Amino acid sequence: MQIADISFPDHPLFLAPMEDVTDPAFRLMCKRFGADMVYTEFISADALVRNVKRTEQKLTIYEEERPVVMQIYGREPDAVAEAARIAEQANPDIIDLNFGCPVKKVAGKGAGAGLLRDIPKMLEITRAVVRAVKKPVTVKTRLGWDEDSKIIVTLAEQLQDCGIRALAIHGRTRCQMYKGEADWTLIGEVKNNPRMHIPIIGNGDVTTPERARECFDRYGVDAVMVGRAAIGHPWIFQEMKHFLATGERMPAYRFAWQIDLLKEHVLRSMEWLGDERKGIVHSRRHLAATPVFKGIPHFRETRIAMLRAEKLDELFAIIDDVKLRYSQLMQEGGLS
């Protein structure tokens, strides 16, 4: 599979863009474990044009994470095109347009998935950005606004005609947000449309190696995007790669190894943000979502303490105590 002049191996796996998640610290970890391409957090075009410091920080990328996609969103063609020119100066490999974010503060203001209610403007923005930059431009969107307006098959052709080089589709409508099951049937229909000649990337509920394989085999997509399943679990890419290559699950990493990787991520977040407390707070989403602690009995109070910790010594003492408890339970036969 190829996007512009960027080549990918068979069955490529991409890290989905996620706000407050896909910062450089996390992207580099996912890259280490086999993510073939990573996306930045989504970047507000208006904030970028206004030189907002927090937004400008999102432009930071590292050579080790390439190929990396910089994703921007906005609701006015001129502003998004100008933001794309600014983003291009950071030298990403691809610039992506977010037409899929469903949250109210974005979609409710006519950006992100809100543009699924104004297709002419969506296409105008896309054309403006394609004209504005030399980097390949891609789009990420959803099936439609609601159950009665699943327009993705037609929309995919219209976006392709604007000059985008690949299209990522989340298998839900905006009104579904992240509820219910992702519907991949229309993603497959887009991919199998003989008029489509750009790569189609499928997204939504890819949480296991088996599901990743099914999405490639059943729907024919060119790449699969992994989102929430990677939070607190960056080695999921390696697990999926192994299964795609062998048809078998790879042996699970030792509990102690997983714990140490979570601690490493906390340290990377602190380094990235330049502040102990901010790094710890930023890591809480990963600590809360990780499957590492699943199955440990009577863990609720420990989880609460872990997610309230604001000092590194305090947090690591709690995590190390969990490691010790786990080892004791294994020795006593309390865990399998």
Q: By CB neighbour count within 10 A (0-12 exposed, 13-18 middle, 19+ buried), where does 276 fall?
A: middle
Residues 116, 99 contacting (CB under 8 angstroms) = yes
The answer to whether the CB of 11 falls within 8 A of the CB of 1 is no
Per the CB < 8 A criterion, the answer to whether 226 and 13 are in contact is yes
Q: Which residues are catalytic?
A: 101
Q: Around Cβ 297, how many Cβ atoms within 10 Å?
A: 9
What distance in Å separates the CA atoms of residue 85 and residue 284, rounded to the nearest whole number? 34
Residue pair 225/199 in contact by the 8 Å Cβ criterion: no
CB atoms within 10 A of CB 194: 5
Q: How many residues does the chain have?
A: 336
Classify residue 309 as left (phi > 0), alpha (psi -120 to 50) or beta. beta
Alpha helices in the chain, H assignment, sequence order: 24-32, 45-49, 53-57, 77-88, 104-107, 119-132, 152-161, 185-191, 209-219, 236-246, 255-273, 276-289, 300-308, 312-332
DSSP letter for 141, please: E
